Structure 1
Amino acid sequence: MNRIPLSPRRRFPETMIRDTTIDSVLRTQALKIPSKVAIQTGEIAATFGDISHRAEHFARWLISVGIQPQDRVAIWLPNGVPWVIAHIGVSLAGAVSVPVSTRLVEREVQFILQHSESKVVVAATRFLNRDYAAEARNLMLTHPEVNIVAIDPTIGDLPGGPANVTTSYSRSLEPAVVMYTSGTTGFPKGCVLSHRSWTNNARLSAEVAGVTPDDVILCPSPFFHLFGSLTGLMGALSMGCTCVTFPTFGPLKCIQAIQSFNVTRMVAVPTMWLDLMKHVGPPNLPTLRGGVWGGADFPRAALERAMDDATYAWDLQAIYGMTEAPTLTQIRPSDGREQKVGAVGRPTPEVEVRIVDPITGQEVESGQEGEIWGRGYNRMVGYLKDPIATEARFAGEWIRSGDLGTRDSYGFLRVTGRLTDMILVGGANVYAREVEDVLLAAKGVSLAAVVGQKDERLGEVPIAWVVPSGGAALDAPTLLKHCQCNLAGFKIPREIFVVQEVPLTGSGKIHKALLKQRANLKGN
């Protein structure tokens, strides 16, 4: 057994926290509402009772091939019923899920499989013109002891074990998931999250958002990222809702799903909300009342349009967190309009947030900028097999976000940038977020990304990429003039590139590391 040591950090009084596990949440709902549809993927539906039954079969198979408590099982599948069954089955076997992105190339996947020491890999046979199961076999040639389970990602059945095998179940404080970070610089880190963190965070986030069992939740966000599998999928299962999803995102797929299944809420990153708004007018989605967004910035003008009573009238609620500490803050339905478009909420139940000076570690005054720190039940156990990085991420009981932000006297958090997004121009600090906000305020700008480019005299200078909204005609000279009217000279981008799209990470965030590489290539 390859057990992961649990953190000895002090536990806080947590009156709303339950000792639940991923499998116990599903089993509870299967007993209460066995015939209700839990997952809908196109024409394929699976009820809570069906998923519970099939996950139990898969758990018995895992145990029969030698999986021990806290062994790790990789899930290399797109969104769909098989992904959910595999995830629940791993928990029923007492093992740990390792979601793997279907967008990664073989070199990246090989690192995750070997670093996590996964004993079983559940992989798709055909998806996006690839045979993931064949790739997994090739990657694991030197590890013949690893079982490769090849299935159709849409309708394939997972193997079942003998009826006389007893499932071991999981315990609340034990690791549930190893979620690898996007890895935009170097290899990704494996964030170990406990069942207690995973299940309570999903449930409390859904409760704060006002989700009820009558809601039908659309989750186009990929399950191999935390926003999709925790906030979207687990949040829906926790509340007894139907979760509608599909293997790949597309705005037309979203429109069809909303209309076909009377979707009431959507869990999606801002780029998905923006794409949806480009393809459909307000009258065509009468059942969609709103939902949550997170993982990246939502341009204020677009967010205001989405929430305007004269257009879509959606109640959109921001969620702020990170893989290492999901959902630190969240907008409530009762919050004011200004808070909903300008902030990312207040701390969620049983979570504390503070803003500190990143140099001294001392808390700053209300309204002052500093690094965002959080503490509570939702923190990761640590980075898998990386005690040095784990220690660097924690400051005693607090976890460092690496994000910059401010908090007002009412507790509302505003994210202002990343510590690593700071551009040092001739000794002066320039925050990319500030420049991006100015560009986003220009007419016709949908997205903006600013990075530092090396400069022999100043060290670094800012350069920018902008994406036009709709059919807007943008040109760099006009945007530069707009910046000159709104920014100090040293903050003005030296170059502005107008493009139709910017590269995104697997989780839908702007791929700043790739843009920085491009910026610093000769003749970029």
Structure 2
Amino acid sequence: MTEVKPWLKNYPKEIPPTLEYSSEPVQHYLTNAANKYPDKVALHFLGKELTYQQLYEAAQYFAGYLQANLGIEKGDRVAIMLPNCPQNVISFFGVLFAGGIVVETNPLYTERELEHQLKDSGAKAIITLDILYPKVSKVMPHTELKDIIVTGIKDFLPFPKNLVYPYIQKKQYGIVVKVKHEGHIHLLTEILKQKKNKWKQYSIDIDEDIALLQYTGGTTGVAKGVMLTHKNIIANTTMNQAWVFKAKEAQEVILGLLPFFHVYGLTTVMILSIKLAAKLVLLPKFDVLETLKTIEKQRPTIFPGAPTIYIGLLNHPDLKKFDLSSINACVSGSAPLPQEVQEKFEAITGGKLVEGYGLSEASPVTHSNFLWGVERVKGSIGVPYPDTDSKIVSIETGEELRAGEIGEIVIKGPQVMKGYWNRPLETEEVLKDGWLFTGDLGYMDENGYFYIVDRKKDMIIASGYNIYPREIEEVLYEHPDVIEAVAVGIPDPYRGETVKAYIVLKEGSTVTEEEMNEFARKYLAAYKAPKLYEFRKELPKTAVGKILRRKLVDEEMKKYEDESKKQA
């Protein structure tokens, strides 16, 4: 086995190479936790706490309402457009109890982005925040949405924060939205007050039935729904638990900072926390000072994150005033983890911070460095998870390459998606004989450790978010004065990468950078909109007229290297 999978010889004795997986659907994690630990705190949210019994009952009430009042049946899609808050967890498990498929939706989406995702998924209902209701109601006529369920951050805040929050919200966002529980609008607070509706428990085939549609841009920039079955999510959650083998059931505190609308946060934070019957400490957004205060007060033991988060904490001027020693395990994903950041964070916390790798199409984690028992390998994304196979293949021939040779990373395992929602051709492009072709270029060393060297995709990763240049370019091309546009990722010491747009304007145009920025932000979420613009008379192209994106990237890399040398 170790000859076929050389990484297995590195496994510590505590991690088995193959695992046993539950035959029950994902929502049974909550049922099991509530049965075993009904009075244990499940969620902590800015001072408010819910026990496992309370969380379970809320999810049950919600499921009953979805079926009885909204007509949700098995396989219907229900979107969740919320930050990390108790309502998100209640909604996720409630939709699954009702037999539905969860569509996690980014609250930062513009109307354009939201409309595409809702239309593509065919979602019948959506759960969203009060301040997002105007946006959702505008796109509703263009989708199959029939019902909007509204909640507010204040709904799950303790007294007196719940009374003060509306004033803070008005000051921060400039609006206070008030809606009534009538017609196609439903208030979550009213739903949870009602007596439990009788709800039908559907039979779930965990190998075939979809639990989650996770949208990802892929290589084209067109958002595609990744179909993750109950088995996919169960497998990856079980793998994650095996990796943090020192974690003990009902004794851990997990910091829920990674957004649940990203599958990395959903699997490694929310679902793993429920499976472990841990206390999940929720933060709706990343604020450095608030995060430091929360760590000191709530004493999390497990803290999955992204490099930007750890960098932000390390650079806070008052870092030394806070006690972060409760942290035992951190797995960083979404972007490369700088060695310096890893070492500094471990020195301050006394815990372990390692880099992992994954993608939405794999639920998402496939590789990771070991937290305990094995020496760290610098620059590596680690080794494949249990029951996960991986190899490097030639991008020209598809043949498997030898150790040290660079090619495309491909993956096989029970966490690999069923396919893309309603996109059989795109599915065939990336799923071949059970292997998932990641589009990432790398190599494997003789000991079975994997390394990323480049991305076959043009994807930009900024602050852990996946950003697809084509999506940005399509928006820029809609500007009446733009002739040509290309978006690239350039190095950024904080975000990892940031978006820069190169633009050729019509002759005589006086459009400024500020005007382009204002235009782009109307149609793109803030994290996708270019942070830098450069206007040129022409862009480098091939003989057949294709813009040489790589040349622009190389130019930026040269500038960055020259600047770094000056500073050194």
TM (norm. structure 1) is 0.77
1:234 counterpart = 2:263: no
2:202 alignment partner in structure 1: 168
1:425 alignment partner in structure 2: none
Within 5 Å, which residues of 2 pair with 1:313-462? 313-325=350-362, 326-334=364-372, 336-339=374-377, 341-421=378-458, 447=496, 454-455=539-540, 459=548, 460-462=551-553
2:127 alignment partner in structure 1: 122
Whole-angstrom distance in 1 between the partners of 2:248 and 2:456 = 38
Instruction: Provide, for residues 31-82 of structure 1, a one-character-per-residue CA deviation record: whole Å limited to 9, x for no partner.
Output: 0011111111111111111111111111111111211101100011111100
Question: Residue 118 of structure 1 aligns to a residue in which SS?
Answer: coil
Question: Residue 324 of structure 1 aligns to a residue in which SS?
Answer: helix
| Contact preservation (8 Å) 1:449, 1:464 | no
What percent of counterpart residues are identical? 26
1:259 counterpart = 2:296: yes
Question: Residue 97 of structure 1 aligns to a residue in which SS?
Answer: strand
Instruction: Provide, for residues 334-355 of structure 1, a one-character-per-residue CA deviation record: whole Å limited to 9, x for no partner.
Output: 354441x421221111111111
| Contact preservation (8 Å) 1:331, 1:346 | yes
Runs ≥4 residues deviating over 6 A = 449-453
Instruction: Provide, for residues 272-292 of structure 1, a one-character-per-residue CA deviation record: whole Å limited to 9, x for no partner.
Output: 111011121386312123311
For 1:331, the aligned partner's letter is N
Question: Residue 79 of structure 1 aligns to a residue in which SS?
Answer: coil
How far the C-alpha of 1:168 sits from its partner, in A, is: 2.9
For 1:242, the aligned partner's letter is K
How far the C-alpha of 1:481 sits from its partner, in A, is: 6.9
Whole-angstrom distance in 2 between the partners of 1:161 and 1:199 = 31
For 1:198, the aligned partner's letter is I
1:49 counterpart = 2:53: yes
For 2:418, the aligned partner's letter is V
1:104 counterpart = 2:139: no
Change (3 A) 1:185 1:158: farther
Whole-angstrom distance in 2 between the partners of 1:383 and 1:217 = 31
| Contact preservation (8 Å) 1:421, 1:451 | no
2:37 alignment partner in structure 1: 33
1:180 counterpart = 2:215: yes
For 2:372, the aligned partner's letter is S
For 1:366, the aligned partner's letter is A
How far the C-alpha of 1:415 sits from its partner, in A, is: 1.3
1:300 counterpart = 2:339: yes
Whole-angstrom distance in 2 between the partners of 1:79 and 1:386 = 30
Whole-angstrom distance in 2 between the partners of 1:480 and 1:445 = 18
Instruction: Provide, for residues 376-409 of structure 1, a one-character-per-residue CA deviation record: whole Å limited to 9, x for no partner.
Output: 1101111111111001011211000111111122
Within 5 Å, which residues of 2 pair with 1:5-44? 15-44=19-48
Change (3 A) 1:166 1:357: same
| Contact preservation (8 Å) 2:335, 2:496 | no
How far the C-alpha of 1:457 sits from its partner, in A, is: 8.4
Question: Residue 315 of structure 2 aligns to a residue in which SS?
Answer: helix
Instruction: Provide, for residues 104-152 of structure 1, a one-character-per-residue CA deviation record: whole Å limited to 9, x for no partner.
Output: 10110011111101011111103xxxxx223222211255861111111
Whole-angstrom distance in 2 between the partners of 1:89 and 1:355 = 40
Whole-angstrom distance in 1 between the partners of 2:494 and 2:253 = 33
Change (3 A) 1:142 1:392: closer
| Contact preservation (8 Å) 2:327, 2:349 | no
Whole-angstrom distance in 1 between the partners of 2:76 and 2:542 = 53
1:212 counterpart = 2:248: yes
How far the C-alpha of 1:20 sits from its partner, in A, is: 2.9
Instruction: Provide, for residues 441-486 of structure 1, a one-character-per-residue CA deviation record: whole Å limited to 9, x for no partner.
Output: xxx99846799985358952534668xxxxxxx9874436799xxx
| Contact preservation (8 Å) 2:308, 2:494 | no
CA RMSD of aligned residues (A): 3.0
Whole-angstrom distance in 1 between the partners of 2:458 and 2:221 = 17
1:486 alignment partner in structure 2: none
Change (3 A) 1:224 1:184: farther
Which stretch shifts more, 15-24 or 368-377? 15-24
Question: Residue 140 of structure 1 aligns to a residue in which SS?
Answer: helix
Instruction: Provide, for residues 387-445 of structure 1, a one-character-per-residue CA deviation record: whole Å limited to 9, x for no partner.
Output: 110010112110001111111222111111111359xxxxxxxxxxxxxxxx89xxx99
| Contact preservation (8 Å) 2:329, 2:371 | no
Question: Residue 349 of structure 1 aligns to a residue in which SS?
Answer: coil
Q: 1:198 aligns with which of 233, 243, 252?
A: 233
How far the C-alpha of 1:264 sits from its partner, in A, is: 1.5
Whole-angstrom distance in 2 between the partners of 1:312 and 1:40 = 22
Whole-angstrom distance in 2 between the partners of 1:396 and 1:158 = 49
Whole-angstrom distance in 2 between the partners of 1:124 and 1:446 = 27
Question: Residue 365 of structure 2 aligns to a residue in which SS?
Answer: strand
Instruction: Provide, for residues 185-235 of structure 1, a one-character-per-residue CA deviation record: whole Å limited to 9, x for no partner.
Output: 532111010111112211321221232232211121111001111111111
Question: Residue 370 of structure 2 aligns to a residue in which SS?
Answer: coil
Whole-angstrom distance in 1 between the partners of 2:26 and 2:58 = 15
Which runs of no fewer than 5 residues in structure 1 stay unpaired? 1-12, 127-131, 423-438, 467-473, 484-524
Change (3 A) 1:457 1:240: closer
Question: Residue 231 of structure 1 aligns to a residue in which SS?
Answer: helix
